[in-house]
Chains A and B, each alone.
Chain A
Amino acid sequence: MDELLREFLTETNEHLDVVDVELVRFERDPNDIDVLRNVFRLVHTIKGTCGFLGLPRLEAIAHAAESLLGRFREGKVEVQPEDVALILASIDRIKHIVAELDRTEAEPPGTDRDIIDQLEGSLTRPQEAARVARLAPTAEALPNEGERGGTRQPTIRVTVDVLEHLMTMVSELVLTRNQLLDLARRQDDPALMVPLQRLSHVTVELQEGVMKARMQPIGTVWQKMPRILRDLAVDLGKSIDLKLRGPETELDRQVLEFVKDPLTQLVRNAADHGIEVPAERLKAGKPERGTITLSAFHDGGSITVEVSDDGRGLDYQRIRRIAVGRGLISEVEAERLSDAAVSRFIFHPGFSTAQAVTSVSGRGVGMDIVKTNIDLIGGSVEVRSEAGRGTTFVVKLPLTLAIVATLIVGVAGQRFAIPQMSIMELVRVRPGQGDAVVEKLNDALVFRQRNELIPVIPFATLLGLTPQDGAITQDGFIVVIQIGRQRFGLLVDTVLHTEEIVVKPLNKRLRNLRCFSGSTILGDGSIILIVEPGGLVRMFEDYAESAVPTVEARPEPEPQWVEDDSEGPVSLLVFRAGTDMAKAVPLSLVTRLEEIDVARIEQAGGRLLLQYRGHLMPLVFADPAMSLQKEGRQAMVVFSDGDRWMGLIVDEILDIVEDELTVELVADRPELVGSAIVRGRATEILNVAHFLPLGHGDWLQREVAPQAVTRTVLLVDDSEFFRSMLAPLLRASGYRVLVADGVEAALATLALPRLVDVVVTDLEMPVRNGFDLIESLRAEARFAGLPIIALSSYVSPPMVERARKLGVVNFVAKFDRSGLVEALSAVLSARSRGVAA
C-alpha cells in the first residue's frame, strides 16, 4: 500500500478511536465545546489530507460535515438533537469509507449526496424537524462489517524478551539481506534479483512490524503522574492541575524505560520549584491552581517531550549568585552571561536553587541526573523560562535505540558512523577555494560560524591516528556536534553518505573506549564503529584542557539565536590602521584575512584594485590617513557578498577577541559605529557599511551578511501528517525547521528569542486558524517584516483578499511541495535584498 495512504489510514483510525468515545459524550451534551473540537478536528484532518491523496468521496463528505461543525463550534447555532444524529451518520459513513479504503485501497463506489445534502441543508436552513426520520434508515443501510474490525483488533500479550529476541533476529536479517544485495549487485545475475528483491521487501516489512510492536505510547509512563502530582501537591500545600497532551505519541519501549525517571523528576521539580503556593499565585494575579503540562509530539525523526508549568519561572539573578558562590563563574562572567546561558547551570551537578531542602527536591541531585540520563540515549534537554509566566523543559528523544540514523565519514582511510541526532551542521572546509576555512589561533584550530568561533578538533588526532603535531589536512569537512552545552567541530576527511544502521554493542573489553558506542556491519560486509558523541565531548574536554584552554573556558552561547543576539558576546577582529587606536569589525562580516604583496596592487582611475580570485577587487583604506606601504606585504581584511569582494587595507591584524560589546556612539564620524572598550582597550568599531560603497557603488542594495546562513522556517500545521511530510522536505532543501501544531504553539515558538526567518502556516486549523495567527503576528511591531506563506487545501477569492490585506506573501496549495520550496526561496532571497536597502 502507498506509504502516504497507510499513514493517512493509521492517523484517521486513531482519530476515529478517540471520536468513538467522544461521540458518546457528544450525544449526551451536544454543546460541550471540547467534544465538538475533537470531532471537528477529525473531520478537518480527513478533509485536509484526502484532497492530497485524491479521495473525492471522503473529501466531499468531510467538507460538508466540517462546515456544519464549524458553525456549532463558533457557537452561532445551538446543536439540535437531529444535528447530533446527522453528525453521527456522517462519522459512520466516513468510517465505512475508511474501512473500505483499508481493504481495497480505493474508495468504494457510490455517492454520499444524501448526507451531504442534509448537511448543507442544515447549514442553510438551521432548524428543521423530520430530518432524523429520513436519515435513520440511510445510516442503517450501510454495510457494517469490517469497520469495527479496523479499530478494535484483538490483542495478545507477549513478553518483552520475545520482542527483544525478535528485534535481534530482524537486525541480523537486515544485515544479511544487505550483504546479499551487495553480492548480487556485483554478480549482476537477474535470476537472483527477483527473489532478492522480494526478500528485501519482506525484510523491510518485518523490520517495521517488529519496530512497531516495540512501540508504546508515552501515556503508559505518564499514567502514574497524576497520582504523584496529587500527593506532591498535598505535601507542598499547593493545588496543581496536570494536563497531558499527546499521550498517544509512541516511543520505543527501551527509550521509554530510560526517560521514565527523568520525566518524573522534571514533574516533581516543576511542582516544587515552579508552581507557587496559592497565596502567592493570587497575589501575582494568576489562578489559584497551578498547571503542569506534559506534551509529546513527533518532530521529524525524533520525539519532543515538554514539561511546562505556569509558575514563577527561573530566577536568573539567583542562579547567577549561586553559580558565583559555587565558584563556577566569576562575578564579571555572571554579569556578561545571557539568561539562556545562565539557565544551563541548573543542570550542573550539585546545583540547587531551592531555598530549603524539601523531601521532594532541592537536594541538588535531580537536574544533572536528568540531563545525564537523557544525554546517555542521544537525547537533549533544554530549558526556557519567562519570569512570572513559567518554565518549560524541552526534552528531545530518539525514536529508537536499536536503529540509528548516522552519517558515515572517512578519517585517515577508515570509516566511522556519527549519529545524526547530535550533528548540528556540516561544513565544507578547503583552504583557498572560497569555502570556509579552519584557522589557527595560537595552537588551537578554530572555525568561524556566523559570529561564533567554534573549536575544531581533527578527528584523526583525537583517535590517535596521526601524531599530535603531524600535518593535519585542513581540506575536508567539519561536522559540528552539539552535546549539552558543548559545541565543537570535528574535522574529517570525507563525508560519504547517511545510513540507518543496526547497533551492535561493543565487546566488553572495548566498552571503556569513550568515543565509540558500538559497531555495525555495512552492506559490503565491513564493520564500522559508531561514534559516541557524548564520549567525544569528554575526550574533547580533556584534549582542550591540554591544548586549547582559552576556547574551553569560554561560556557556550545559546545556539539558536547567535545570529541576532545583541546581548551576548561578539567576536571581533581587532586591527590597527592609520592611528594608534585599535580598530575592530565584527568577525561575522569578515570573509578572509589576507597579506598581499604590494606589487600586486594596481591603480586605476584613482582607485586601488587587486586581482583576486578571478575578480578585480576594489581596495579601500580603513583610515584616510593611511597610505600604501612602499614594498613588502600589505595586510587586508576581505569582505564578500556573493560574487562581490572588497579589501579593507589595514596596517596590522592584532587579534580575534570575543567580548561583550557596549558601543558608545560617535556623532560626526560616519566611518565608525562608535567606540567601545574591547579587552580593556579603547577600540573604534568600524562601520563596514560605510566602506562598502567606496568599493562598489551598488553594494548597499544588498545585504552584507555571512554566507551560508541557514534560514529558519516555522511550519505551523495542526495535522501531524502534513508536519511530518513537509518538515523533512524543507530540511532537505536546506532550511532549519521548527514545527508548531497550532496557533498557540506557533506564538510560543515565536516569543522565544530565536530567529524565525519565515512562517509557513496552514490556514485551516481547529480552535484558532491560520488567519488568527497572522493577525496576531501583524498586531506586533516586531513581526511586521516577518514573511508569511499560507498553505491551504482550497482557495477562495475572499480568502485571497483577506490574506493579501494581512500581507501574506504567497499562497501555496497544500500538496504542492515544489511550489512551497520555490515560494520560500523567492521570499527569502527577496528579503535578504530588501533588508539592507
Chain B
Amino acid sequence: MAVAKHSPDRTTARAPTAEHEDKHVQYVTAWVADQLFGIPIADVRDVFIIQSMTPVPLAPPQILGLVNLRGRVVTAISLRWQLGLPEPADRQRMIAIGIESDGESYGVIVDRIGEVLNLMPDTAAPTPFHLDSRWAGMSAGVHSLDDCLLVILNVSSVLAFSNDITAR
C-alpha cells in the first residue's frame, strides 16, 4: 500500500490532483451518522463488507462480534458506539475498515465508505476544545472541505477502550 510522504512544502489545503500526490496524505473516508471521518490510508489494511458475524456473549458492547476475513479472525468494533451514537436497529450491510494494531486485526464498522481523499496533513485545524470528550479523544484534527468537515480519526484511540466491561 502506498504511503504518502509528509511534505514540508506548503500548498493549498485542498489539492487532490495526481501531480501533487506525493506531498499529501491519503485518507480513507467514511460516514458515520452524518459525519465524515478520515483514516490515514497507511493505517488501513483493507475495506470489506461483512457477510456474517459471530457475536461474542458477555463482550464489551462496542465489540459487535468476530468476522472471518479470508481465514483471519477479525474483531468488529462499532465506531458508532465509540462515538456515543445509537446503534441502528437493523444493519443491512455492514462495512468495515480493516485495521491492524499490535498484531491483531480489527474491523471498524462504519455506515458507508466515502472517497479516498488527498489532503495536506498540516492544514488541518486542531480539534475544537468544546467537542464532546469522546469525540475529542478520537480526533486528530479537522479538515474543512468544500461542503463539510472531515474529522481525522486517531486509530489507536478508537481501539482504546476498557475491556473490563463484561456485561451489556
A529 surroundings in chain B (CB, below 8 A): 54, 56-57, 66
Q: Least Cβ distance of B162 to chain A in Å?
A: 9
Query: A464 contacts which of B54, B57, B66 (Cβ < 8 Å)?
Result: B57
- Asked if B166 and A519 make an inter-chain contact with CB atoms under 8 angstroms apart, the answer reads no
Interface size for chain A: under 10, 10 to 19, 20 to 34, or 35 or more residues? 20 to 34
Asked if A526 is an interface residue, CB under 8 A from chain B, the answer is yes
- Asked if B163 and A521 make an inter-chain contact with CB atoms under 8 angstroms apart, the answer reads no
Q: Least Cβ distance of A216 to chain B in Å?
A: 27
Chain B residues touching A, majority SS: loop
- Asked if A508 and B54 make an inter-chain contact with CB atoms under 8 angstroms apart, the answer reads no
- Asked if B63 and A510 make an inter-chain contact with CB atoms under 8 angstroms apart, the answer reads yes
A176 surroundings in chain B (CB, below 8 A): 71
Query: A504 contacts which of B55, B57, B73, B161 (Cβ < 8 Å)?
Result: B73
Which residue of A has the minimal Cβ distance to B160?
A: A509
Which residue of A has the minimal Cβ distance to B77?
A: A509
Query: A508 contacts which of B52, B71, B104, B164 (Cβ < 8 Å)?
Result: B104
Bitwise interface map of B from 39 to 69 toward A, beta carbon under 8 Å scored 1, else 0: 0000000000000101111111001001110
Query: A509 contacts which of B58, B63, B167, B168 (Cβ < 8 Å)?
Result: B63
Asked if A18 is an interface residue, CB under 8 A from chain B, the answer is no
Asked if B75 is an interface residue, CB under 8 A from chain A, the answer is yes
Q: Of residues 8 to 57 in B, which have CB atoms within 8 Å of A's CB atoms? A: 52, 54-57
Interface size for chain B: under 10, 10 to 19, 20 to 34, or 35 or more residues? 20 to 34
- Asked if B104 and A527 make an inter-chain contact with CB atoms under 8 angstroms apart, the answer reads no
Query: B58 contacts which of A172, A511, A515 (Cβ < 8 Å)?
Result: A515
Q: A175-B71, A521-B68 are in contact. Are A528 and B63 (CB under 8 A)?
A: no
Asked if A670 is an interface residue, CB under 8 A from chain B, the answer is no
Asked if A513 is an interface residue, CB under 8 A from chain B, the answer is yes
- Asked if B71 and A512 make an inter-chain contact with CB atoms under 8 angstroms apart, the answer reads no
Most chain B CB within 10 A, of A179, A509, A521, A525, is at: A509
Asked if B147 is an interface residue, CB under 8 A from chain A, the answer is no
- Asked if A526 and B166 make an inter-chain contact with CB atoms under 8 angstroms apart, the answer reads no
A529–B58 CA distance with the chains assembled, in angstroms: 12
Asked if B90 is an interface residue, CB under 8 A from chain A, the answer is no
A508–B161 CA distance with the chains assembled, in angstroms: 11
Q: A507-B75, A509-B63, A509-B75 are in contact. Are A526 and B54 (CB under 8 A)?
A: yes
Asked if A575 is an interface residue, CB under 8 A from chain B, the answer is no
A260–B63 CA distance with the chains assembled, in angstroms: 37
Asked if B146 is an interface residue, CB under 8 A from chain A, the answer is no
- Asked if A513 and B59 make an inter-chain contact with CB atoms under 8 angstroms apart, the answer reads yes
- Asked if B167 and A464 make an inter-chain contact with CB atoms under 8 angstroms apart, the answer reads yes
Asked if B132 is an interface residue, CB under 8 A from chain A, the answer is no
- Asked if A526 and B55 make an inter-chain contact with CB atoms under 8 angstroms apart, the answer reads no
Asked if B115 is an interface residue, CB under 8 A from chain A, the answer is no
Q: Of residues 116 to 168 in B, which have CB atoms within 8 Å of A's CB atoms? A: 159, 161, 163-164, 166-168
A717–B59 CA distance with the chains assembled, in angstroms: 49
- Asked if A414 and B54 make an inter-chain contact with CB atoms under 8 angstroms apart, the answer reads yes
Q: A512-B163, A526-B52 are in contact. Are A521 and B71 (CB under 8 A)?
A: yes
A525–B54 CA distance with the chains assembled, in angstroms: 11
Asked if A795 is an interface residue, CB under 8 A from chain B, the answer is no
B54 surroundings in chain A (CB, below 8 A): 414, 519, 526-529
- Asked if A464 and B168 make an inter-chain contact with CB atoms under 8 angstroms apart, the answer reads yes
A175–B54 CA distance with the chains assembled, in angstroms: 17
Which residue of B has the minimal Cβ distance to A171?
A: B71
Q: Of residues 624 to 672 in A, which have CB atoms within 8 Å of B's CB atoms? A: none
B166 surroundings in chain A (CB, below 8 A): 512-513
Bitwise interface map of A from 414 to 435 toward B, beta carbon under 8 Å scored 1, else 0: 1000000000000000000000
A351 surroundings in chain B (CB, below 8 A): none
Asked if A387 is an interface residue, CB under 8 A from chain B, the answer is no
A527 surroundings in chain B (CB, below 8 A): 54, 66-68, 73
Q: A172-B71, A521-B73 are in contact. Are A463 and B63 (CB under 8 A)?
A: no
Asked if A465 is an interface residue, CB under 8 A from chain B, the answer is yes
Most chain B CB within 10 A, of A507, A513, A515, is at: A507
A512–B59 CA distance with the chains assembled, in angstroms: 9
Which residue of B has the minimal Cβ distance to A528?
A: B54
Which residue of B has the minimal Cβ distance to A518?
A: B73
Asked if A477 is an interface residue, CB under 8 A from chain B, the answer is no
Query: B66 contacts which of A172, A512, A519 (Cβ < 8 Å)?
Result: A519
Q: Least Cβ distance of A182 to chain B in Å?
A: 12
- Asked if B164 and A512 make an inter-chain contact with CB atoms under 8 angstroms apart, the answer reads yes
A528–B63 CA distance with the chains assembled, in angstroms: 15
A464–B165 CA distance with the chains assembled, in angstroms: 13
A510 surroundings in chain B (CB, below 8 A): 56, 59, 63, 75, 163
Most chain A CB within 10 A, of B75, B106, B168, is at: B75
Q: Least Cβ distance of B64 to chain A in Å?
A: 12
Which residue of A has the minimal Cβ distance to B159?
A: A509
Asked if A516 is an interface residue, CB under 8 A from chain B, the answer is yes
A196–B56 CA distance with the chains assembled, in angstroms: 33
Q: Least Cβ distance of B3 to chain A in Å?
A: 26
B102 surroundings in chain A (CB, below 8 A): 508
A509 surroundings in chain B (CB, below 8 A): 60, 63, 75, 159, 161, 163
Q: Pick the 3 closest A-B CB pairs, nearest first.
A: A463-B57, A507-B75, A527-B54
14 contacts between A and B (CB under 8 A): A172-B71, A504-B73, A507-B66, A507-B106, A508-B163, A510-B56, A510-B59, A510-B163, A512-B166, A513-B166, A519-B66, A519-B73, A526-B54, A527-B66
**Given A507-B75, A515-B57, 15 more contacts at CB 8 Å?**
A414-B54, A464-B167, A464-B168, A507-B106, A509-B163, A512-B164, A516-B56, A525-B68, A526-B52, A526-B54, A526-B68, A527-B54, A527-B68, A529-B54, A529-B57
**Interface residues, chain B, with chain A CB atoms under 8 Å away:** 52, 54-60, 63, 66-68, 71, 73, 75, 102, 104, 106, 159, 161, 163-164, 166-168
